[in-house]
Amino acid sequence: MLKITAWALPVGGAGALAALGLLRLIGLVTNLVFYQRWSTAMIAPGRVHHPWWLVLGAPMAGGLIVGLMARFGSEKIRGHGMPEAIESILTGGSTVQPKVAVLKPVSAAVSIGTGGPFGAEGPIIMTGGAIGSILAQLLHLTADERKTLLVSGATAGMAATFNSPLAAVLLAVELLLFEWRPRSFVPVVAAAAVATICRGFLLGRAPVFQVTLPPTGLHLPPQVEILAAVCGLSGGALAAAATWLVYRSEDAFARLPIHWMWWPAIGGAVIGLGGMIQPRALGVGYDVIDQLLTGHATTGLIAGILVVKTLIWALSLGSGTSGGVLAPVFMIGGALGAAEGMFFPHVMGGFWAMLGLAAVVGGVMRSPLTGVVFTLELTHAWAALLPVLIASTGAYALSALILKRSVLTEKIARRGLHLTREYSTDPLETFFVHEVMRPATVLGEDRPIDRALLDRLSKVGAAARLIPVTRLDGTPVAFTTAHDLTEYHASHPEKGRVTDAARPLQLALAPHDTLREVAYRFAELGLSSAPVLAPADRPRVVGVITLPDLLHARLHDLTEEHRRQRLIPRRQHTPTPRPASTDAAPARPGRADSADLPDPA
């Protein structure tokens, strides 16, 4: 852990520099295309009037360039970055090609700078992850250690882009790490901390969207929690609709009789048409998000963003162009909340936009805690924690009920991979060997092999497939099976001892080993059974554990999930109470006994 944490520190700094470079590159392309000037300042298209041919043609030209880069550079630059990073972790041993670290930010800058309604966070996740992966590939590391450095780079880029270290770490845990262990959590936090510190020198420490709280503090009306739940449910419905639209668009593009290289240009035409209706929907849109969250957005802007931004983002994202999803989701969610705020009681400027933002992030990304912390770190409006939490969780719940997968995991599933987003304790970790082991049949090494022995073993059954062989003092030295003894006796009917039909003992387990440890040792050594030794100075065999015995923990977990029972019986209204001695004892709560579960053998 300490070694990887030490390497994560420079990865965090490099991630911050990559975030700064991407933002500057987006600003440069935007200024060149829409304002015909050389500047790297972040500015959005549509702040002034542009000729119709520029609004329509720029996104098409940008899409064509991205398509060419993907065709002749690397197809990995297609998409919004996070599914690609997840796929690299799941199937690629957390390795990313060095050229992706260059092509991904350039393609994203071209796509966003020419009007694409995307964010910088997806590309920076892929770029920062590529930096961490390239460093890891230069070192002598395991695949899990490479994954940690890849995620450290991705988290660093996120933290530096939005000045949100905690949200970036939560996003890493919920979407990229697939675990919560010190070996990965500590390095990721270290990288995020370094990136956030570097961002303070590069871009400043102020929140990205400065929300001004009332001077007397935030006073929430009594019904705010109920309205927050309404906001969450509407955000979840919008998230489900937008996710559905993204993949219907992807299906439509897949049916086109032309090469996918041309799809981003067609998506650019959709963007251009939307930009002609609402120019402020073009580009990354940080200025629009700021207006929504500070309560300065007009009704026309709110309606235009809610409709136009949602449509052009979802339809063009399905074309396979390069760009992130978070900033558009921020804008769409903020617009939804601002629209609802016209009918809800006034709390402060942008309050309901904050709740809408958190709700749509929780619904689209299926990461409710990330949605909450992102919202609060972006605005520093910590006093709104409870309603923001309610809104994000409500959207998450509705999205989980309506959609089988999120906008991220659907793309992974379409590539033939399975990805679970539900985390729970491994049942194998909660059971010990002594709880599931079976009685052992033990033979001394000098015991002769005869028909009486074989007949006795045949009556034991499948519970004693492995037979420990011991010395006179009870110390196990080898193992055999009834099959091996029978085979040996058939070929040597007149002689033979048990030790002649035995094999060296490869593994012995202790009663307090967890079943998870057993599963790992079985997989490592290619075994399906092992003896269990009592923990003493002179070990003795107390049982045998086999591969089917490991199913006991799974059956217990299945029982706890699906078996319903009443532990406190209903009160009996009878004229004459039954004697206490005849009352049935209630089922014992807690862990099921082996008698409660079917025999796994």
Residues 465 and 482 sit within 8 Å (Cβ to Cβ)? yes
Half-sphere exposure in the Cβ direction for 242 (13 Å, CA): 37
Q: Which of 70-84, 95-109, 224-238, 282-296 is predicted with the least confidence, judged by mean pLDDT?
A: 70-84
Residue pLDDT, tens place only, 138-182: 888 888 888 899 999 999 998 998 888 999 998 888 778 777 888
Mean residue pLDDT of the chain comes to 83
Closest of 294, 300, 370 to residue 334, by C-alpha: 294
Q: What's the pLDDT score for residue 81?
A: 64
Every domain of the chain and the residues it spans? 2-202, 224-414, 427-552
Residue pLDDT, tens place only, 526-544: 888 888 888 766 778 888 8
Residues 6 or more apart from 22 whose CB is under 8 A from it? 105, 108, 109, 120, 123, 124, 127, 157, 161
pLDDT higher than threshold 50 for residue 75? yes
Tokens of 504: 């060296």
Q: What's the pLDDT score for residue 102?
A: 85
Give the separation between CA 102 and CA 595, rounded to whole angstroms.
Answer: 60
Q: What's the pLDDT score for residue 600?
A: 39
Give the separation between CA 88 and CA 188, rounded to whole angstroms.
Answer: 17
pLDDT higher than threshold 60 for residue 587? no
Give the separation between CA 401 and CA 505, rounded to whole angstroms.
Answer: 51
DSSP H/E element including 467 = strand 467-470
Q: How confident is the model over 576-588, as a mean pLDDT?
A: 45
Longest pairwise C-alpha distance within the chain: 103
Residues 82 and 125 sit within 8 Å (Cβ to Cβ)? yes
Residues 6 or more apart from 10 whose CB is under 8 A from it? 135
Q: What's the pLDDT score for residue 588?
A: 36
> Higher pLDDT residue, 78 or 188?
188
CA dihedral 476, 482, 486, 492 (to 10 degrees): 0
Q: Which of 197-206, 246-255, 383-392, 499-508 is predicted with the least confidence, judged by mean pLDDT?
A: 499-508
* pLDDT tier for residue 583 given thresholds of 50, 70 and 90: very low
Angle among Cα 227, 231, 233 to the nearest 5 degrees reads: 115
pTM exceeds 0.75 for this model: yes
Tokens of 556: 């217990």
**Residues shown for the chain:** 601
pLDDT higher than threshold 90 for residue 188? yes
Phi, psi of 307 (to 5 degrees): -90, -55
Q: What's the pLDDT score for residue 8?
A: 94
Percent over 70 (pLDDT), the chain: 88
Please indicate whether the domains covering 2-202 and 224-414 agree at the CATH topology level. Answer: yes
Give the separation between CA 455 and CA 473, rounded to whole angstroms.
Answer: 26
Residue pLDDT, tens place only, 342-365: 999 988 888 999 999 999 999 988
* pLDDT tier for residue 119 given thresholds of 50, 70 and 90: confident
Domain 2-202's class?
Answer: mainly alpha
Question: Is CATH 1.10.3080.10 what the domain over 224-414 is classified as, yes or no?
Answer: yes
DSSP H/E element including 477 = strand 476-480
> Higher pLDDT residue, 16 or 576?
16
pLDDT higher than threshold 60 for residue 235? yes
Residues 350 and 223 sit within 8 Å (Cβ to Cβ)? no
- Measured between alpha carbons, how far is residue 58 from residues 272, 316, 530 in Å? 8, 14, 68
Q: What's the pLDDT score for residue 415?
A: 66
Q: What's the pLDDT score for residue 460?
A: 62
Question: What DSSP string runs through 164-189?
Answer: -HHHHHHHIIIIIIS---HHHHHHHH
* pLDDT tier for residue 571 given thresholds of 50, 70 and 90: low
pLDDT higher than threshold 50 for residue 5? yes
Q: What's the pLDDT score for residue 484?
A: 77
- Measured between alpha carbons, how far is residue 254 from residues 64, 116, 263, 266, 273 in Å? 17, 20, 9, 12, 21
Give the separation between CA 220 and CA 568, rounded to whole angstroms.
Answer: 40
Neighbours of 405 (CB within 10 A): 18
DSSP H/E element including 346 = none
Question: Is CATH 3.40.228.10 what the domain over 427-552 is classified as, yes or no?
Answer: no
> Higher pLDDT residue, 101 or 63?
63
* pLDDT tier for residue 255 given thresholds of 50, 70 and 90: very high
Q: What's the pLDDT score for residue 25?
A: 92
Q: What's the pLDDT score for residue 598?
A: 40
Q: What's the pLDDT score for residue 582?
A: 41
Q: How confident is the model over 241-263, as a mean pLDDT?
A: 90
* pLDDT tier for residue 129 given thresholds of 50, 70 and 90: confident
Q: How confident is the model over 47-73, as a mean pLDDT?
A: 92
pLDDT higher than threshold 60 for residue 450? yes
Residue pLDDT, tens place only, 78-118: 876 666 677 777 666 777 778 887 888 899 899 999 998 88
Closest of 274, 275, 298 to residue 288, by C-alpha: 298
Q: What's the pLDDT score for residue 94?
A: 75
Tokens of 427: 């049942």
Residue pLDDT, tens place only, 12-43: 999 999 989 999 999 999 999 999 999 998 88
pLDDT higher than threshold 70 for residue 591? no
Per-residue three-class SS string for 361-398: HHHHHCCHHHHHHHHHHHHCCHHHHHHHHHHHHHHHHH
Q: Amino acid letter at 339?
A: A
- Measured between alpha carbons, how far is residue 442 from residues 306, 391, 458, 483, 529 in Å? 74, 62, 14, 15, 14
Q: Which of 49-63, 193-207, 305-319, 527-541 is predicted with the least confidence, judged by mean pLDDT?
A: 527-541
pLDDT higher than threshold 50 for residue 596? no
Q: What's the pLDDT score for residue 339?
A: 95
For residue 430, the SS3 value is: coil
Residue pLDDT, tens place only, 207-216: 888 787 777 7
For residue 138, the SS3 value is: helix
Q: What is the DSSP letter of 419?
A: -
Q: Kindly calculate the radius of gyration of the chain based on its CA atoms and give it in whole angstroms.
A: 31
